[in-house]
Amino acid sequence: MTLAIDFFFSFRSPYSYLAAPRAFALADDHDVEVAFRGVIPMAMRGQSVPLAKRLHTLRDTKREAQRLGMPFGRVHDPLGDGATRCLLVAEHAVDMGRERDFVLAASRAIWAEAVDVATDAGLRGVCERAGLDWSACAAALTDPALQARVDADTAALAALGHWGVPVLVLDGELYWGQDRIEDLERVLTRQLA
């Protein structure tokens, strides 16, 4: 039986951006299933984040991105329409088997290339880079079934007693934060040995 990991992710979270390549790599390195679970950003769920925390997060993520060798710093905050549009296209990408490609392309565009994914031009470029057909992605933006899946994933994170991302879940155990992926990898190595 293949082990399954739920990967709760927000396009507004720079930590999710840092986690995504390593989270998806778990599927390759350990022959596990990594299920993308996109969630609505905290600020869009009525949870306030103090300015000092937001500023610290940007400084910390820049430092972590340098450590990981990932580009970072040309940021276009996707809060609002940008995040919503990315979540809907990500659900469409799941159906196409291209979620990894889209999540990596969109998060890099947001956190390293200052692409405005709230615009059709910005999002279209990301979709095309991920190998997705723009007309199908544009249709996904108004698909209530895809929005219901985003809402269900957001509710599932809350049902786990959590609010922040990234969160990876294996066998009911939560690994919160991009800095916990190595812990999860050690557990996988033991379980699959």
Around Cβ 190, how many Cβ atoms within 10 Å?
8
Selecting among 10, 13, 16, 107, the annotated active-site residue is 13
Q: How many CA atoms lie within 13 A of 78 on its CB side?
A: 30
Q: Could you tell me if 71 and 108 are in contact, meaning their C-beta atoms sit under 8 angstroms apart?
A: yes
Q: Active site includes 13? A: yes
Which sequence positions are flagged as catalytic?
13
